């Protein structure tokens, strides 16, 4: 009887284990390679199921696994080789997890793979040569990892590749031979922030299907710029900034009308559109701010996309007087465009009588992909002031010197210096879209009425069919992110003392109390973070970018800096703050914005003021520790909130948590700990237990500022 029982038990157990098919076994092997699954995303992956087709993140077609998509689930472990045994696998998306180790060569045995998205992990080592077996691969995104070594020469065998994103890794060496000849289907190319070296391949000019930005910036490319890059589509923005390129910039095809922001950070480059004359040693260091001629509208310098067209004859004369390089070329181009385009519009009606805005497309030139020309009647209308009367008009603004301060998904920001020395900050919202002017006007005027010493004042705006501009006071000491961490690639900075930090904390809290309790609509900022906290003449805090998301949505303009993800992934959170900038030049991880975002914001529909409280708490943690919002721990990354919680659990000594620059303020330890306690209450999971900004400000006010 015992022998019979054992036989029945073993037979039943074998049937239970064998329930799942071979593809299920392969996925269970992947599950075993995951050491941490804090969100339980693999909980329903059970061997008792007949197939894995009902498992979370798994998609099947005809009972065969075609897709494994488990993004942003904090999975920790390595990429199992077993995924390569899924014969019909077409899509793998494991982005924004905590995967480490190398890419197994067995993964590339799934030769039908079309999309491999692994960005935002901690993958290391080099890319296996076997990647060349993926002849159907269309989308490869390995960005924001720790991958190194040269790109395998076999990559050029992936001839169907349409999107190649390798930014923010440690790749080195040159691009594979035949890169531009073989990968002619490429529509997106981003290899920025690596250590690629050698010459820029001349065959890149064959990539005739490229769109958006071809980003080769922040590498070690050397030698001259191939003239063949001019063969790229005219609308492609070629970003070659911060390399070791030398010699004259070719004036051919798509390279002709690029602004200086496409080439800065290469001290050896010369000729238009740079001010360095060829044959004369460059005087501007790689970190210098791009200077634009005082006669060129600021919008030309920001994205370098627009052909310089449509300036009036007076503006052309000003350019001839003020510019020192390339004036003949640009002057002829302006006159040609003026006669061809603006001349055709002279018979059209301008503004209606008594109206400040046009009902048709005007010709205001701000460097668009397809530039319009300047209407004869646009000089009759001006910026719309909000509050006090302005001491300048639109024409003065267009003639002013402009410097790019930064780029984001909500547009380009310029520092504009008027002839009388008055300095402004001008944000360009977009180039077109839905024409909801009345709604825009109502919103912008409500924001313009806000007056508080800790909030940046919106002074004026301009609206046309193609352009939406916001004019602010210029804040001279940059933003809080730069004050805490310095600016990448620049000389060491002067760290903030504890009294200065406490002053800034109080200023931000005071400004947020005003928004939450005393503004007409009791606003929610919704995007509070260090880059949106500017520092005034006396290092006082000024909250900026309030209401921008709403205004940009109404304006309907396309963001200046496109997302580096495919539209099919529906990624909206990434802002690429990688513009050459006087105040900020930050290249943020894909999940940087989410570090300041209250997790409750992902669940709720109606904005809550407690979202701002959470963001403020994260900022306090950053100011206390001096750590970035994403903390690197060996081969893994962790947001600063979870890092602090881990430090508390492990009883890490306070001295190891504190910003080293604050060690000289040891006599203020009680104050620092008090602020830390406030921060920890701000980041609580329960909204009801979070304090109000009023209570936070009152608590900070009780602390010394001496």
- DSSP sequence for 64-120: EEEEEE--SS--EEE--GGGGG-TT--EEE--SSEEEEPPPGGGGG-TT--EEE--S
Q: pLDDT of 385-437, one tens digit each?
A: 887 777 777 777 877 877 888 776 677 888 888 888 788 899 887 655 556 77
Parallel, antiparallel or unpaired: strands 188-190 and 163-165:
parallel
Parallel, antiparallel or unpaired: strands 468-473 and 458-463:
antiparallel
| List of E strands, 361-453 | 384-385, 401-408, 411-417, 423-430
Residues pairing with 239 in the sheet: 215
Please name the residue that has the structure tokens 């009801």.
688
Residues pairing with 244 in the sheet: 222
* Residue 568 confidence (pLDDT): 26
Measured at the alpha carbon of residue 651, what is the angle toward residues 690 and 639, in degrees to the nearest 5?
55
Give how far Cα 341 sits from Cα of 317, 333, 350, 383, Å: 19, 12, 15, 24
Distance in angstroms (rounded) separating the CA atoms of residues 423 and 420: 9
Mean pLDDT, residues 566-583 taken together: 29
Parallel, antiparallel or unpaired: strands 401-408 and 411-417:
antiparallel
* Residue 408 confidence (pLDDT): 67
Statement: residue 311 has pLDDT above 80:
no
Q: Which two tokens stand for residue 631?
A: 């903390």
Give how far Cα 255 sits from Cα of 67, 276, 307, Å: 41, 17, 11
Statement: residue 487 has pLDDT above 80:
no
Helix (H/G/I), strand (E/B), else coil: 284 = coil
Please give the radius of gyration of the chain, using alpha carbons only, rounded to the nearest integer. Answer: 28
**Residue 30 parent element (H or E):** helix 22-32
What lies within 8 Å, CB to CB, of 442 at 6+ separation is none
What lies within 8 Å, CB to CB, of 109 at 6+ separation is 84, 85, 130, 133
Nearest-CA neighbor of 384 among 410, 355, 411? Answer: 355
For every residue of 201-215, DSSP letters joined together read PGGGGG-TT--SEEE
The lowest-confidence range among 171-175, 284-288, 312-316, 611-615 is 284-288
* Residue 464 confidence (pLDDT): 77
* Residue 489 confidence (pLDDT): 60
Burial of residue 199 (number of CB atoms within 10 Å: 0-12, 13-18, 19+):
middle
Distance in angstroms (rounded) separating the CA atoms of residues 270 and 256: 14
* Residue 431 confidence (pLDDT): 59
Measured at the alpha carbon of residue 536, what is the angle toward residues 479 and 678, in degrees to the nearest 5?
65
Helix (H/G/I), strand (E/B), else coil: 123 = strand
Give how far Cα 448 sits from Cα of 235, 298, 420, Å: 35, 22, 24
**Residue bearing the bigger pLDDT, 626 or 556:** 626
**% of the chain beyond a pLDDT of 90:** 35
Q: Which two tokens stand for residue 78?
A: 């390595």
Statement: residue 363 has pLDDT above 50:
no
Mean pLDDT, residues 83-110 taken together: 92
* Residue 556 confidence (pLDDT): 66
Instruction: Count CB-CB contacts under 10 A for residue 86.
Output: 26
Mean pLDDT, residues 677-696 taken together: 88
Statement: residue 484 has pLDDT above 80:
yes
Please name the residue that has the structure tokens 């947020």.
512
* Residue 107 confidence (pLDDT): 92
Statement: residue 126 has pLDDT above 70:
yes
* Residue 617 confidence (pLDDT): 95
* Residue 434 confidence (pLDDT): 53
The lowest-confidence range among 318-322, 385-389, 474-478, 684-688 is 318-322
| Contact call for residues 541 and 480 (beta carbons, < 8 A) | yes
* Residue 407 confidence (pLDDT): 72
Instruction: Count CB-CB contacts under 10 A for residue 453.
Output: 13
Statement: residue 287 has pLDDT above 80:
no
Q: How confident is the model at residue 467 (pLDDT cuts 50, 70, 90)?
A: confident
* Residue 89 confidence (pLDDT): 94
* Residue 433 confidence (pLDDT): 52
Orientation angle between helical segments 693-701 and 669-682, nearest 10 degrees: 180
The lowest-confidence range among 67-71, 280-284, 481-485, 522-526 is 280-284
Q: pLDDT of 510-554, one tens digit each?
A: 999 999 988 877 888 988 999 999 999 899 999 998 888 778 777
**Residue 246 parent element (H or E):** strand 244-248
* Residue 211 confidence (pLDDT): 85
Mean pLDDT, residues 216-224 taken together: 92
Mean pLDDT, residues 186-193 taken together: 91
Statement: residue 258 has pLDDT above 90:
no
Show the DSSP H helices in 350-455 as ranges: 394-399, 437-448
* Residue 655 confidence (pLDDT): 85
Nearest-CA neighbor of 689 among 629, 613, 630, 632? Answer: 613
Statement: residue 583 has pLDDT above 60:
no
Distance in angstroms (rounded) separating the CA atoms of residues 139 and 127: 15
Mean pLDDT (the chain) is 76
Statement: residue 615 has pLDDT above 70:
yes
Helix (H/G/I), strand (E/B), else coil: 247 = strand
Distance of CA 619 to the CA centre of its chain: 19
Residues pairing with 468 in the sheet: 430, 463
Statement: residue 338 has pLDDT above 50:
no
Q: How confident is the model at residue 248 (pLDDT cuts 50, 70, 90)?
A: very high
* Residue 601 confidence (pLDDT): 81
* Residue 511 confidence (pLDDT): 94
Distance in angstroms (rounded) separating the CA atoms of residues 500 and 506: 10
Distance in angstroms (rounded) separating the CA atoms of residues 396 and 460: 14
Q: pLDDT of 10-37, one tens digit each?
A: 333 344 345 778 888 999 999 999 999 9
């Amino acid at each position: 009887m015992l022998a019979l029982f054992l036989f029945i038990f073993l037979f039943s157990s074998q049937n239970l284990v064998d329930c799942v098919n071979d593809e299920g076994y392969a996925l269970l092997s992947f599950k075993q390679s995951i050491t941490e699954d804090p969100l339980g995303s693999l909980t329903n992956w059970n061997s008792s199921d007949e197939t894995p087709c009902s498992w979370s993140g798994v998609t099947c077609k005809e009972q065969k696994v075609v897709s494994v998509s488990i993004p942003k689930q904090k999975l920790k472990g390595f990429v199992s080789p077993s995924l390569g045994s899924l014969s019909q696998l077409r899509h793998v998306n494991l982005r924004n997890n905590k995967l480490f180790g190398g890419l197994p060569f067995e993964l590339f045995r799934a030769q039908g793979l079309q999309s491999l998205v692994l960005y935002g992990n901690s993958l290391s080592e080099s890319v296996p040569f076997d990647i060349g077996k993926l002849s159907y691969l269309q989308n490869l995104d390995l960005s924001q990892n720790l991958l190194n070594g040269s790109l395998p020469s076999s990559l050029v065998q992936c001839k169907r590749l349409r999107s190649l994103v390798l930014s923010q890794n440690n790749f080195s060496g040159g691009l594979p031979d035949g890169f531009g000849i073989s990968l002619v289907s490429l529509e997106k190319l981003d290899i920025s922030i690596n250590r690629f070296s050698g010459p820029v391949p001349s065959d890149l000019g064959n990539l005739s299907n490229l769109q958006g930005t071809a980003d080769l910036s922040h590498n070690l490319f050397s030698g001259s710029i191939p003239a063949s890059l001019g063969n790229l589509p005219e609308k492609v923005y070629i970003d070659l900034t911060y390399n070791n390129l030398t010699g004259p910039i070719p004036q051919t095809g798509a390279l002709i009308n690029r602004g200086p922001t496409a080439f800065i950070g290469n001290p050896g480059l010369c000729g238009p559109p740079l001010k360095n004359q060829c044959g004369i040693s460059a005087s501007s260091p790689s970190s210098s701010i791009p200077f634009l001629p005082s006669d060129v509208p600021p919008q030309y310098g920001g994205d370098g996309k627009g052909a310089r067209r449509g300036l009036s004859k007076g503006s052309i004369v000003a350019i001839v007087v003020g510019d020192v390089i390339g004036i003949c070329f640009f002057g002829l181009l302006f006159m040609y465009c003026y006669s061809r385009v603006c001349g055709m519009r002279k018979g059209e009606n301008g503004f209606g009588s008594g109206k400040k805005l046009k009902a048709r497309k005007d010709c205001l030139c701000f460097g668009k992909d397809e530039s319009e020309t300047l209407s004869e009647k646009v000089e009759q209308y001006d910026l719309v002031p909000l509050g006090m009367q302005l001491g300048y008009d639109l024409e003065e603004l267009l003639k002013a010197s402009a410097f790019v301060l930064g780029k984001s998904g909500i547009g380009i920001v310029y520092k504009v210096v008027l002839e009388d020395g008055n300095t402004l900050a001008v944000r360009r919202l977009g180039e077109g879209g839905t024409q909801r002017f009345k709604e825009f006007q109502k919103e912008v005027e409500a924001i313009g009425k806000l007056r508080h010493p800790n909030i940046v004042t919106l002074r004026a705006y301009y609206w046309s069919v193609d352009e939406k501009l916001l004019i602010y006071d210029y804040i001279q000491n940059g933003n809080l992110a730069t004050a805490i961490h310095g600016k990448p690639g620049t000389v060491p900075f002067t760290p903030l003392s504890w009294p200065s930090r406490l002053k800034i904390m109080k200023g931000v809290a005071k400004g947020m109390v005003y928004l939450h309790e005393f503004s007409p609509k009791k606003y929610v900022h919704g995007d509070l973070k260090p880059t949106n906290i500017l520092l005034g003449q006396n290092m006082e805090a000024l909250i900026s970018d309030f209401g921008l998301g709403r205004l940009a949505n109404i304006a309907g303009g396309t963001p200046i800096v496109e997302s580096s993800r495919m539209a099919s992934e529906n990624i909206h959170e990434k802002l690429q703050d990688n513009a050459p900038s006087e105040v900020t030049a930050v290249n943020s991880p894909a999940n940087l914005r989410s570090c300041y975002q209250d997790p409750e914001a992902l669940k709720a529909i109606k904005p809550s003021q407690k979202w701002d409280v959470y963001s403020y708490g994260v900022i306090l943690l950053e100011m206390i520790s001096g750590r970035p919002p994403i903390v690197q721990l060996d081969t893994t990354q962790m947001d600063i909130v979870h890092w602090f919680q881990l430090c508390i659990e492990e009883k890490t000594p306070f001295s190891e948590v504190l910003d080293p620059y604050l060690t000289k303020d040891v006599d203020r330890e009680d104050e620092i700990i008090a602020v830390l306690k406030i921060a920890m209450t701000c980041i609580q999971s329960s909204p009801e237990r979070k304090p109000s900004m009023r209570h936070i400000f009152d608590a900070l006010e009780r602390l010394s500022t001496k």
